[in-house]
Chains A and B, each alone.
Chain A
C-alpha cells in the first residue's frame, strides 16, 4: 500500500499521560499536514511541514502539542499531559507542492488515529 499510513489506529489513555502518533506520508510527497476531527465536525488544521521545516501552526496547537518531521519523511505528533478535550481523530495528510506551484494539488489523507482520553 503506497498511501498515507498512521500508527496507532486507536489510542486510549488516561488524563495526564503523554501520547505520540506517527504518520508516514506518500514517499514522494514533500508536504505533510496534521488535522484534528471531532464528532460532527470537519477536520481542523493543526500544523504543516514542507520537507523537515514546520512552516505553519494553528492556534489550536497549544504548547502541549509538538510535531516533528526530522528527516522530511515520517512525522510524529506528541500530546503532553493529555486532557479529555484532546479526544478526537487525528488525521495526517500529504501532498506534493512547491511555493507558487502545485498549490492546488490535493492532499491525501491517512486513516487517522482515534484518541480517547479517560
Chain B
C-alpha cells in the first residue's frame, strides 16, 4: 500500500535560516512525488514535483526538494526562510505504474512551518 510520512508536526525556523521539511514515502513501484502548501482558509497550492530525471527539483517561491530513492525520501528545502513561508506543507505520492491507481494522491499529515522574524 502507498503511504507518506511527515515525521514532524511542526518545524520552527528563524527568518534567513535554511529550512527542511521531511517526507518519506512507500510505494511498490516508482513514485511521483509532490509538495503542496496550504495557507489558512485556502486550498492547496502546488510547489514542486519529482517525476523522473534530476534528483534535485526546483519549484515555486525558492523551494527545492531532493529525491533520494535509497532512503525513500523527498525532503523540502529552502536556503533562506521568510516569515511569509509560514504555512502548512503537505507531501504527496502516487505510483507511476500504468496499472496502478489513475487518480488519487496519497498525502502525509502535514507539517506546520513557523518562521519567526
The distance in angstroms between the C-alpha atoms of A41 and B103, with both chains bound, is: 19
Complex partner residue of A104 from B45, B49, B98, B107, CB under 8 angstroms:
B49
- A103 partner residues in chain B, CB cutoff 8 A: 32, 94, 96, 98, 102
Closest chain B residue to A40, Cβ basis: B109
Say whether A48 contacts B109, CB under 8 Å: no
Known A48-B102, A58-B104, A103-B94; further 10 A-B contacts with Cβ < 8 A: A43-B44, A43-B107, A45-B104, A55-B103, A56-B103, A56-B104, A103-B32, A103-B98, A107-B46, A107-B105
Given the contacts A45-B105, A56-B104, A100-B98, A109 and B110 also touching, CB distance less than 8 Å: no
Encode contact with A along B63-91: 1 for CB under 8 Å, 0 otherwise. 00000000000000000000000000010
Given the contacts A43-B90, A106-B34, A111 and B43 also touching, CB distance less than 8 Å: yes
Name A's B-contacting residues (CB within 8 A). 4, 31, 33, 40-45, 47-48, 50, 55-56, 58, 91, 93, 99-100, 103-104, 106-112
Residues of B within 8 A of A (CB-CB), count: 28
Say whether B43 contacts A31, CB under 8 Å: no
Say whether B43 contacts A110, CB under 8 Å: yes
